Structure 1
Amino acid sequence: MTAELADNEVLSVLRTACLAVGLDPEGAELLGLSENAIYKLPGDVVVRISRTGQRTAARREVDVARWLENSGIQAVQVIPHIEQPVEVDGRSVTFWRELPPHQHGTPAQVAAALKQLHALAPPADFTLGELAPFVRLEERIEAASILSDGDRQWMREYLAELRQRWDELPEGLPWCVIHGDAWVGNVVSTNDGRVILLDLERTSIGPPEWDLVHTAIKQTSFGWISAKQYAEFCDVYGYDVTDWVGFGLLRDIREFRMTTMAAQSATENPKDREQAAHRLACIRSDCGPRPWSGWRALS
C-alpha cells in the first residue's frame, strides 16, 4: 500500500468515526503518524486512530484514563459523554482533550510521576491485565519489507531468545500498576506546572523496573541524558534499576522493541531506513559496546 493510499484510508476512518459521534471532521490537522495516527479537530479535540486489531488496547486506554482521572493522577483525558472506542474498518478510534502547551518531562519529573503511579492499587471495576513485553513484535518483523531474509531470520531467533529469558525473569520489586511505555515523550510537563501521563494503551500490571528501564537506557545505551540527570531520576524514585540483576534483559527487550519500531517505520517512510539499519547493527553487536552513538528519533 502506498503512503498516499494509507493516508486516504486513515482519513476515511477519521471522517466516519467523527460523524458517528457527532463531531465535525472538517479542518482536521494531522499531528503524527506512527503507531497511531493522531489528528486535531477544531475545538481542542484530539483523535487517535489505531492500527487494525487494537480494540482491546484502545478500550483499556479509555478505561485507564477515566480511572486515573478519578484517582487524582494527572493524565490525558478522554472527551466525556462519547462511547468509545469507535470501530471503523478494524481500526479503533478514540477522542481526547487537547493538552495545554507542554514539553517533554525531565527525568526527575518522569520519576516522580512513575512513583505516584506505581503506588496506586489496581482498579476494582476492570482488569488491567499483565504486561505483554513482546506485543506486536512478530507482526512488525514480518511486515518490515526493508529487512533482508537473513536479518529477518536473525530477529526471529533473537526474539525467541528474549522470550526464553523473560520466562526466567529474576525476582525484583513487587509487581504493580505500570505505565508500560514511560519514555519522556509520554510524560510531559505543561506550561502551567503539571506533569501529565500520555499514551496509556500499555498500562498494565507488571514489574516496575519495566518503566524505569526506559530512562536508564537513555543514559547507559544511548547517552541521551547525562549521568547527573540519571542520578536525579534515581534519587526521586528511590531506586536504580541498573543495579538489579534483571536489568540487562529488560534493556535488551526495550532496545529490540525500538529496533522493530524503526523497521516498521522505515517500511512506510524511506527516511528511516538508515536508522533502522543502524539500530539493527547495534543490537547485533556490530557497533561496539554501549553507549551507542547515532540512535535518533524516527521521522
Structure 2
Amino acid sequence: MIAGETDLLGIVRVAGTAAGLDVADVQPFRQSENALFRLPGHIIARVSRPGQYVAAQREVNVARWLEASGIAAVQVVPDVDQPVVIDGLAVTFWRELPPHQHGTPVQVAAVLKQLHHLPPPVDFDLGQVAPFVRLEERIAAASILSDQDRSWFRGHLTELQQRWAELPAGLPWCVIHGDAWVGNVFAADDGTVRLLDLERTSFGPPEWDLVHTAIKWRSFGWITEEQYAEFCEVYGHDVTTWAGFELLRDIREFRMTTMAVQAASANPAREEQALHRLACIRGERGPRPWTGWKALE
C-alpha cells in the first residue's frame, strides 16, 4: 500500500477539488501499483506512488499525444491541469472505461504494430526505456524475503543490468508501450481496442513490448503455439528468433516476480505465488514452460 485508505481518500478529494471536479462521492476502485478511485461523472482518479510525479506527467502527455495522433488509448479528463500533487503524491484524472476484457494476442499485435510505427512526439521528451525501474525499491521493501532470498534478488538484478549493457542489436528503436501485456490492452464488446497504463511508454526496442506475449507461450503456457504464431503473423516479427530474446525474457520474469513479492508483503494470501515465482526463476522448478504462475488477485 502507498498509504492508508483514509489518507488516500482525503488526497483524492483535495486534488479533485483543486482540479474543479465533483468530489461529493469518491469511492475506492482498485489498488495495484497505483491506487484508483471512482469520482462522479465516470471519472477515475489515479494516485501514484511517492516519487512518481515525472512518470505521471509523462503518462498524461502520452495520453494527449496518442489521442491527437489517432491511436486509441485511455483518455485523460480534458481541461484539467494535471497531475495534481498533494502530500507528495501525483494524482491524475481519467475517463472511466466502459465494460471490457483483456485484449487477445492478435489485438495486442495489431495495436503494437500501429504504435511502433508512430513518429516520436516533438513537444515533450518520452525518455528511454527503463527496464529496472523500481526493482531495487521492491526488493528492499519485501518483508516476506529472507536475507538469503534478498541477497539472491540483488545479485541477479546486478547480473541482468550487466547483460542489458550488452543488448544485441535488433529492430530499430521506436515508441514503445513499455508494459504491453494483454491486461493493458482494452477490448470492448463493440470491438474497440485501446491501450491502457501509459506510464512506461518511452523510446526503446520494440522487442521489449513483444516479449510479453512470447513468454505467455514459452515461459508459462498461458497461450497456445498457434495463438503465438497468429501474434507474430499480425505483427510481422517473431521476437524469440532474436539473440536478445532470452535477456528480455529473464528481465520480464524477474519484474513479474518482484511484483509478486511486493504484493505478498502487503497481502499474505499472495505469498505462495510469490515464492513459487522465485523458485522458478532460480531454476528450482525445472525448465520452461512452468506451471503454477497465476495472476495476482
TM over 0.5: yes
CA apart distance, 1:39:
1.3
Question: 1:182 is matched with which residue: 171, 180, 183?
Answer: 180
User: 1:205 Cα shift?
Assistant: 0.3
Q: Distance in 1 between matches of 2:2 and 2:209?
A: 36
**TM-score normalised to the size of structure 1?**
0.97
User: Whole-Å Cα distance in 1 between the matches of residues 2 and 90 of structure 2?
Assistant: 21
Paired residue secondary structure (1:39): strand
Q: Separation in 2 of the partners of 1:220 and 1:28?
A: 42
d(CA) in 2 for partners of 1:266, 1:101: 28
The equivalent of 2:81 in structure 1 is: 83
Amino acid at match of 2:248: L
Consecutive unaligned residues in structure 2, runs of 5 or more = none
What displacement does 1:4 show? 11
Against the structure 1 CA distance between its residues 4 and 197, is the aligned structure 2 distance closer, same or farther, given a 3 Å change threshold? closer
On the 8 A contact 2:13/2:26 being kept in 1, the answer is no
**Greater than 2 Å deviation, 4+ residue runs:** 24-31
TM superposition shift of 1:101: 1.8
Question: Which residue of 2 is the match for residue 208 of structure 1?
Answer: 206
3-state SS in 1 of match to 2:4: helix
Q: Where does residue 37 of structure 2 map in the other structure?
A: 39
How far apart, in 2, do the equivalents of 1:215 and 1:169 lie?
A: 20
Change (3 A) 1:5 1:73: closer
- Whether contact under 8 Å (1:100, 1:191) holds in the other structure is no
Q: Which amino acid aligns with 1:167?
A: A
CA distance in 1, matches of 2:234, 2:2: 46
Q: Aligned residue for 1:61?
A: 59
**Aligned equivalents of 1:187, 1:57: Cα separation in 2:** 19
Quote the residue 1:267 is aligned against. 265
Rounded Cα–Cα distance in structure 1 between residues aligned with 2:132 and 2:217: 23
Q: TM-score, normalised by structure 2?
A: 0.98
Identity of aligned residues (%): 68
Shift of 1:274: 0.7
Superposition pairs of residues 162-181 of structure 1, within 5 angstroms: 162-181=160-179
Closer/same/farther in 2, CA of residues 4 and 257 from structure 1, 3 Å limit: closer
1:9 positional shift = 2.1
Q: 5+ residue gaps in structure 1?
A: none
CA RMSD, aligned part only? 1.2
Question: What secondary structure sits across from 2:49 in the alignment?
Answer: strand
Paired with 2:247 and 2:8, the residues of 1 have a C-alpha distance of: 36
Match of 2:287 in 1: 289
Contact kept in structure 2, 1:180 and 1:202, CA below 8 Å: yes
Quote the residue 2:238 is aligned against. 240
Aligned residue type for 1:296: K
Aligned residue in 2 for 1:102? 100
1:188-209 CA distances to partner (integer Å, 9 max, x unpaired)? Answer: 1112221100000000000000
> Deviation per CA, 1:234-273, whole angstroms, max 9, x where unpaired?
0000000001110000000000000000111111111111
How many residues matched? 297
Deviation at 1:23, TM superposition (A): 1.9
Aligned partners of 2:2 and 2:49 also within 8 Å:
no
Q: Whole-Å Cα distance in 2 between the matches of residues 201 and 5 of structure 1?
A: 20
Work out the CA distance in 2 between the residues paired with 1:218 and 1:71: 30
